[in-house]
């Protein structure tokens, strides 16, 4: 199953920090929409699910502490 690129809702109005993702076959691809030809980061569906679960639980929040 291939899907269209999806833009994060947080990407609008924040100075252009644009993240997009799509499902391409058995992987989830993530890219910078301002430089779409620069490549993608690819995750298995299981890896992506684990990342989203951790993000929802706040497990990565300390990365934002400055």
**Domain coverage including residue 56:** 6-60
66: in domain: no
How far apart (Å, rounded) are the C-alpha atoms in residues 7 and 18?
A: 7
**Number of domains composing the chain:** 1
* DSSP category for residue 15: S
Q: Kindly state the percentage of the chain with pLDDT values over 90.
A: 64
Say if residues 34 and 15 touch (Cβ distance below 8 Å).
no
The mean pLDDT value for 7-18 works out to: 71
In a domain, 65, yes or no: no
Binned at pLDDT 50, 70 and 90, residue 58 comes out as very high
The pLDDT of residue 18 is 84
């Amino acid at each position: 199953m291939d899907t269209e690129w999806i833009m994060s809702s947080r990407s609008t109005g924040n100075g252009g920090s644009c993240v997009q993702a799509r499902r391409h076959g058995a992987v989830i691809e993530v890219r910078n929409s301002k430089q779409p030809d620069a490549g993608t980061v690819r995750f298995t569906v299981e890896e992506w699910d684990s990342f989203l679960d951790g993000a929802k639980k706040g497990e990565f929040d300390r990365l934002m502490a400055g």
